Chain A
Amino acid sequence: MRSITKRFPGVLANDSVDFEASEGEVHALLGENGAGKSTLASILTGLYRPDEGEIAIYGRKVEFHSPRDAMAAGVSMVHQHFRLAASLTVSDNIVLGDNRAGWLRTSPKTIESQVDELATRYRMPVHPRARIWQLSVGEQQRVEILKALYRGARVLILDEPTALLTPQEAEDLFETLRRMTAEGRTIVFVSHKLEELMAVSDRVTVLRAGRLIGTVNTTETSPPQLAKMMVGREIVFAQFKDGHAPAGSEVVLELRNVSADGDLGIQAVSDVSLRLLAGEIVGVAGVSGNGQRQLAEVISGTRPRTAGDILVSGRSLRSGDPGQAIARGVAHVPEDRLGTGVSPSLSIADNLILKSHRRAPISTRGILRHDRITANAKDLMTRFAISAPGAETPTRLLSGGNVQKVVLARELSSAPKVIVAANPTRGLDVGATEGVRSLLIKAASDGVGILLISEDLDEILSLADRIAVMYEGRIVGILARAAADVQHLGLMMAGSSP
């Protein structure tokens, strides 16, 4: 792939990236979130068309208009979120869409024997007649790989393949990959996990912020070096907080051995313990997908927890009860601001009372007081500089920055004890980002405890007093800001401890 450039509105996802892989090698693609590695992989597999640049397979230039074209050229991808039809069988899924043999007739016996043959050859045992929902995640992944092999894939792209696997299953996967490369196939392994990359790949290409940083042979590099390439940068915003919470602060939020399951039923948060003091900002760093979203949801009550206890100012919170969490002073600035943080078709004024609508002074005895709602909206819109045609404007018409201001205005004005902010500046321009960060710092200085969950290490380094790193659902370390250096953090984020 040469000079691949891909733009999305507002973001340059790939900036003139070169990438090449050889026959029979496992080539790792490394980078943080937003680095552009998933975009590059998607272009290679035909999901996206590059704005500039070209792709060549075996020296022949190709243009993919759809994943089908890519598959025909021998390039297949196993996505992080499997593309399988849950209630169909393994054989069905493998054979789906394949029009090579015959028109109407499909002999199940032939398919099953073909599947069995493939499965044995690569030692990936599967039950052809099992239904997908019955399989474990590792087995489902095997089906995805067999799907690719069935179509004669020469290049197989794996997107964060071990994200949902147990260590044993990961080992089995690597075995399979070795067998495949021995046959001359090429594997592109997209990941942010350093240990694995070191173990399984021949070469590593590192992307950062859409640009190619470099390609190295695995034998000639080390995790610290890779971490530096992946994460190393100068800190841009000089918005420092003084670095510690005021003396004698109470513990506003405490998590004791909290665990919770993710949407797929696998444990996403594992045995997390944490203490947050009033006036303190604790940053939770980590690559997206390591349980941060679920952690935020567990604390705010929108996700039930499977173990452990959450206490706000010493009082225990009921699991899965957002109403109680709100009443006890837990504010939540969610990742998905338009989908969850606001009710998109409702007006700004309405969204500003989204949580306070059931209590005085906004409502008395079940009747909303419009004068108070309007006054509240006017007040907050001025204080937080929310720019919009009027308070009655539907919220979904606002820019991302203004939507976030609405959310923040609402959460901050509810006099919370704790704010859980998940990626609060994602997708915002510089000005809006500054605004959000100032607000958070101000809130902390007013005595609110802030849990800042962010994929942006810059942000954490400039705002947090203490930094916790999350990896695979666990907190792998908590450092004071003074003691944290970027390389160290990068290693922890990638699962490797020095």
Chain B
Amino acid sequence: MNVNESIVVVLAASAIFYGTPLVFAAVGELLAERSGVLNLGVEGMMLMGAVTAFWAVQHLSGPDWLALMLATLIGGAAALAVSTIHAILVVGLRANQIVSGLALTIFAGGTGLSSYIGNVARLGGKPAQHEFGAINVIGLADVPVLGPILFHQNALVYGSWALVILALAYLYRTRTGLHLRSVGESPQTADVMGVNVARYRYAHTLAGGLLAGIGGAYFSLAITPNWIDGMTSGAGWIAIALVIFAFWRPELTLVGAYLFGIFSSLGFVLQARQVHLPPEVFASLPYVMTVVVLVVVSTGWAKQRLGAPAALGTPYVREER
């Protein structure tokens, strides 16, 4: 057995493969939360992305890469459209962010709109016309160890890396990114300095929707090139936890997402190697870890260094002048 089939390499490659939708969704949610908006509807938005992208891919013809790209974008657009509801309710109408997000998940999720669309359009039971296959990057796929891990992934994986780099640059190197951070930290300060708080919140909530939709599209176009009701099975919720786990920093979402990816695939991989531990033990690790991290983060010390945007979850109402 060559080293590229060893458990470590396979695990690492799977971790990246399974963790990628989480990266998209988490970065999206991170942007929204950085502006102060908590969006618990990620799961619903991902499912919208999954179903619409699948529908698109079944109706598009042409070269694979074009169809897939369009389908992914369409999935993102659908999720963005749905996220506008949350944005309007929460930013415009000052509604309770928690309830609104949950309503979004119910509306769009596995018992809602995405399921409705899937069933009406009879999308179930048929494989995708086009699917994301692994790309052999510059022929490096067979390099020992790093080959299968880094150079044999599909286009969206590479897209996610680009996204993280872009997000980092955006947050820390551009003027708009600075304004975004100040809106989430202290909307009063931002407002006084002339930053339009509402506009930033709208924009970044919608961006979060778009990215969640792309993450969802990954499920129906890359992981299982099929459509099933509720196929993300909770990935959206994990993405929300991931944002905290990553201390609201884009580069750490990669770490967190792949960690989750490992835990997801660990069970299967180990079973294939005759190691028997209840898969639930591994599967529950990420959730337990998140709670632990959260406790650390919520103590005053950590809060300032690595913490949540201070104004997360609260509506911003400007007092009269």
Tell me, yes or no, whether B173 is within 8 Å of chain A by CB.
yes
Known contacts A85-B182, A86-B310, A87-B304, A105 near B174 by CB under 8 Å:
yes
Residues of B within 8 A of A199 (CB): none
Residues of B within 8 A of A65 (CB): 321
Instruction: Report the Cα distance A406→B305, complex, angstroms.
Output: 44
Residue from the list A68, A85, A104 in contact with B189, Cβ < 8 A: A85
B71 to A: closest C-beta gap in Å: 30
Instruction: Report the Cα distance A104→B192, complex, angstroms.
Output: 20
A106 engages B173 (CB within 8 Å) = yes
A92 engages B189 (CB within 8 Å) = no
B160 to A: closest C-beta gap in Å: 23
A66 engages B321 (CB within 8 Å) = yes
Instruction: Report the Cα distance A323→B310, complex, angstroms.
Output: 31
A104 engages B304 (CB within 8 Å) = no
Tell me, yes or no, whether A339 is within 8 Å of chain B by CB.
no
Known contacts A83-B188, A87-B304, A92 near B182 by CB under 8 Å:
yes
Interface 1/0 per residue, B162-198 and A, CB below 8 Å: 0000000000011110110110011011101111000
Known contacts A48-B321, A66-B321, A97 near B174 by CB under 8 Å:
no
B190 engages A97 (CB within 8 Å) = yes
B175 engages A103 (CB within 8 Å) = yes
Tell me, yes or no, whether B307 is within 8 Å of chain A by CB.
yes
The residue of chain A having its C-beta at the shortest distance from the C-beta of B182 within the complex is A85
A106 engages B178 (CB within 8 Å) = yes
Tell me, yes or no, whether A483 is within 8 Å of chain B by CB.
no
Residue from the list A83, A84, A97, A105 in contact with B179, Cβ < 8 A: A97
Instruction: Report the Cα distance A468→B17, complex, angstroms.
Output: 72
Residues of A within 8 A of B190 (CB): 85, 96-97
A86 engages B185 (CB within 8 Å) = yes
Residues of A within 8 A of B304 (CB): 86-87, 131, 133
Residues of B within 8 A of A103 (CB): 175
Tell me, yes or no, whether A389 is within 8 Å of chain B by CB.
no
B174 engages A104 (CB within 8 Å) = yes
B179 engages A96 (CB within 8 Å) = yes
Interface 1/0 per residue, A86-104 and B, CB below 8 Å: 1110001001110100111
Residues of B within 8 A of A66 (CB): 194, 321
A104 engages B185 (CB within 8 Å) = no
Residue from the list A87, A96, A104 in contact with B310, Cβ < 8 A: A87
A106 engages B174 (CB within 8 Å) = yes
Residues of B within 8 A of A203 (CB): none
Residues of A within 8 A of B321 (CB): 47-49, 65-66
Instruction: Report the Cα distance A86→B300, complex, angstroms.
Output: 13
Main SS of the interface on chain B?
Answer: helix
The residue of chain A having its C-beta at the shortest distance from the C-beta of B187 within the complex is A85
Interface 1/0 per residue, A43-62 and B, CB below 8 Å: 00001110000000000000
B173 engages A99 (CB within 8 Å) = no
A92 engages B181 (CB within 8 Å) = yes
Tell me, yes or no, whether A108 is within 8 Å of chain B by CB.
yes
Interface 1/0 per residue, A7-49 and B, CB below 8 Å: 0000000000000000000000000000000000000000111
Tell me, yes or no, whether A67 is within 8 Å of chain B by CB.
yes
Known contacts A105-B175, A106-B178, A97 near B194 by CB under 8 Å:
yes
Instruction: Report the Cα distance A65→B188, complex, angstroms.
Output: 16
The residue of chain B having its C-beta at the shortest distance from the C-beta of A77 within the complex is B192
Known contacts A86-B310, A106-B175, A67 near B192 by CB under 8 Å:
yes
Please classify how large the interface on chain A is, using the bins under 10, 10 to 19, 20 to 34, 35 or more: 20 to 34
Instruction: Report the Cα distance A49→B190, complex, angstroms.
Output: 20
B310 engages A97 (CB within 8 Å) = no
A84 engages B189 (CB within 8 Å) = yes
Residues of B within 8 A of A85 (CB): 181-182, 185-186, 189-190
| A window 87-131: CB within 8 A of B | 87-88, 92, 95-97, 99, 102-106, 108, 131
Instruction: Report the Cα distance A102→B175, complex, angstroms.
Output: 9
Residues of A within 8 A of B305 (CB): 87, 131
The residue of chain B having its C-beta at the shortest distance from the C-beta of A102 within the complex is B175
The residue of chain A having its C-beta at the shortest distance from the C-beta of B186 within the complex is A85
Instruction: Report the Cα distance A301→B304, complex, angstroms.
Output: 28
Known contacts A96-B179, A133-B304, A87 near B185 by CB under 8 Å:
yes
Residues of B within 8 A of A87 (CB): 185, 304-305, 307, 310
Instruction: Report the Cα distance A15→B181, complex, angstroms.
Output: 41
The residue of chain B having its C-beta at the shortest distance from the C-beta of A97 within the complex is B193
Residues of B within 8 A of A102 (CB): 175
Instruction: Report the Cα distance A66→B195, complex, angstroms.
Output: 12
Known contacts A85-B189, A87-B185, A108 near B173 by CB under 8 Å:
yes
A18 to B: closest C-beta gap in Å: 23
Instruction: Report the Cα distance A485→B192, complex, angstroms.
Output: 43
Residues of A within 8 A of B174 (CB): 104-106
A66 to B: closest C-beta gap in Å: 7
Instruction: Report the Cα distance A84→B189, complex, angstroms.
Output: 6
The residue of chain B having its C-beta at the shortest distance from the C-beta of A103 within the complex is B175
Known contacts A86-B304, A87-B307, A96 near B173 by CB under 8 Å:
no
B175 engages A88 (CB within 8 Å) = no
- Pick from A67, A97, A99, A108 the residue with the most CB of B within 10 Å: A97
The residue of chain B having its C-beta at the shortest distance from the C-beta of A151 within the complex is B193
Residues of A within 8 A of B189 (CB): 83-85, 96
The residue of chain B having its C-beta at the shortest distance from the C-beta of A106 within the complex is B175
Residue from the list A47, A48, A104, A131 in contact with B176, Cβ < 8 A: A104
Residues of B within 8 A of A67 (CB): 192-193
B183 to A: closest C-beta gap in Å: 9
B182 engages A96 (CB within 8 Å) = yes
B173 engages A88 (CB within 8 Å) = no
Residue from the list A83, A86, A88 in contact with B192, Cβ < 8 A: A83
Residues of A within 8 A of B185 (CB): 85-88
| A window 254-274: CB within 8 A of B | none
Instruction: Report the Cα distance A106→B305, complex, angstroms.
Output: 23
Instruction: Report the Cα distance A327→B192, complex, angstroms.
Output: 46
Instruction: Report the Cα distance A494→B241, complex, angstroms.
Output: 53
B173 to A: closest C-beta gap in Å: 7
Residue from the list B173, B178, B186 in contact with A95, Cβ < 8 A: B178
A residues apposed to B, CB below 8 Å: 47-49, 65-68, 83-88, 92, 95-97, 99, 102-106, 108, 131, 133
A-B contacts, 8 of them at CB < 8 A, read: A83-B192, A85-B182, A87-B307, A96-B190, A103-B175, A108-B173, A131-B304, A131-B305
| Those 4 A-B pairs whose CB atoms lie nearest each other, nearest first | A97-B193, A85-B185, A133-B304, A68-B194
18 other contacts beyond A47-B321, A85-B182, A85-B189, with CB at 8 A cut-off? Answer: A48-B321, A49-B321, A65-B321, A67-B192, A67-B193, A68-B193, A68-B194, A85-B186, A87-B304, A87-B307, A88-B185, A95-B175, A96-B189, A96-B190, A97-B179, A99-B175, A104-B176, A131-B305
